[in-house]
Amino acid sequence: MWNTVLFDLDGTLSDSAPGITRCVQYALEKEFGIIRKPEELIEFVGPPLKEQFMLYTGCNDEMGERAVDRYRERYRPVGIFENSLYPGIPELLLQLRNEGFRIALSSSKPEEFCHQILETFEIAQYFDVVCGSDMEGRHTDKAEVVEEVLHRLGMENRREEVVLVGDRKYDIIGGKQRGVGTIGVSYGYGSREELELEWPDCIVDTVTELRNVLIGQARAGRRNENSAGTPAGRAERKRSDGGSVYKVWRIVYPMLLHFAVVNLTAILFSGFYVLFRIITDDSLLDVGAAIQSQMLLLTGLGDAILIPIAWLFFREDEKKRISKGFRERILVQNTFNISEIVSVTIMVIGISCLLNLLIAFLPVNDAEYQEIAEEMFKHNGIVIQLVVIGILAPVSEELIFRGLIFRRIRDYAGFMWAAVASGLFFGIYHGNLTQGIFAFVMGMLFAAIYEHYGTLWASIAAHMANNIFATLENNLLDKIDVPDFAYLIFVIVIGAAGIALMYRALAGGKRVNEI
């Protein structure tokens, strides 16, 4: 199991090509009179500079050193800042730290420049050791740098626990020569073909895949060798989790909390409203109808009050998992960017449309619920509905049903039981059969989305997409004369897209969590 990571710098952590190639361009012109465009000099990114100048120009050792001096004339004041981190690198380093990894930098770049770059990007705090060449051009060979890092870390006799991550063949060769694991990253300056020729232990295409490989193998190793599978580990978790009654209470009380806060808000408002009517000598005959007409607003107010309370419970749970060392209970966060949000939105809308269509064929008649809902919604405009139903309700319900209930059941029984049980709680909580069936299925889908992406924001976004679409549909569909056949075609198309996206993300996508 790898627990120590040696990172290359250029092409692995940062995109430094603009600065390097422009400085090489400057050196070639000043020292050799060679005119090249920066994009023609990408081969200089990665290998030791002097050797690359000698290979490129056919010059001798002395001229190679002069070319490096010319390079640094521009690099010190300008080129070092023509650089940027690859997206996701700071988050990767933080997650590796949280998982207990030791992290080191192993670069052929002068060590002075390495420190300056890490500090500029504000990631120096993640590194136990920073190792590079010296300013005189010595120790630029990757194998030498790796050996020096191992010496500084005290890992010379534990090489099987170390992995080198780099983007060029020189990194893979150097790592193999020193007996450490190797991972090639194809998003840097070396091609996948170049890396494959050196047979690294693994090749990844994105920073997310790199994180999944590193953290996934570490967790798998810990599950196989440490506390979780031993009698002592099981006993420790049992003591920490408490007895059966306590577990049931921890699972159930978040739902009771949601019910209590939302309904207490309505009761308090109703009481103040009645008191106000008494003080102003107004009739109390229509009090019930007036309060009923404002139930949507009252629900939104209750959700707004509940959100920070539920968030505190959620954060405390996460802190406990980390402090107790229950790392198999901590979700690894996958990439969740704009494209993923769009994918999740289409997925959820498609699945919900199909589900509603199927429920329509069931012999279920919730006329009373429909009557109450219509009465509640007709007194509130679409903006209020979107804020309460589309924003506040998804946030509060995801914190309660996925952030607390799902995660707590998952701690005790694993993903599948947690998804089904939390979905069942979610369905029952809605209080009627039609909504209950819908909420049960969608609750399981939200749990799967949360598990896959490893962040509660993913299930919140999915829940918001579902509720906003439903709100717009309820408000606009009646005003637009859409033929049933056209609507059926829409449901089939969007439903097929939703199923395809669900399969791609949840079944076919790369993952490190249980699903």
The conformational region for residue 192 under phi > 0 = left, psi -120 to 50 = alpha, else beta, is alpha
CA distance 470 to 359: 15
Rg of the chain, C-alpha, whole Å: 30
CB 349 within 8 A of CB 469: yes
The CA distance from 506 to 515, in Å, is 7
Contact between residue 437 and residue 362 where contact means Cβ atoms under 8 Å apart:
yes
What 8-state DSSP symbol labels residue 10?
Answer: B
User: Does residue 347 contact residue 354 with C-beta atoms inside 8 Å?
Assistant: no
Strands 181-185 and 162-166 come out as: parallel
Token pair in block for residue 209: 């895949």
222 to 94, 229, 327, 328: CA distances (angstroms) = 19, 9, 9, 9
The strand pair at 102-110 and 129-133 is best described as: parallel
* Measured distance CA(446)–CA(423) in Å, rounded: 9
Which one-letter amino acid corresponds to residue 504? Answer: R
β-partners of residue 4 are 102, 162
DSSP 197-241: TT--SEEESSHHHHHHHHHHHHHHHHHHHSGGGSHHHHHHHHHHH
Count of positions (residues) in the chain: 515
Q: Which tokens is 274 given?
A: 């009645």
d(C-alpha 480, C-alpha 392), whole Å = 28
Our answer to whether residue 141 is catalytic in this structure is no
Distance CA 474, CA 17 (A): 53
Q: Please report, as a single letter, which amino acid is at residue 239.
A: R
C-alpha–C-alpha distance, residues 463 and 390, integer Å: 8
Tell me which of 8, 171, 303, 411 is the catalytic residue. Answer: 8
* Single-letter code of the amino acid located at 227: S
Residues carrying an active site annotation: 8
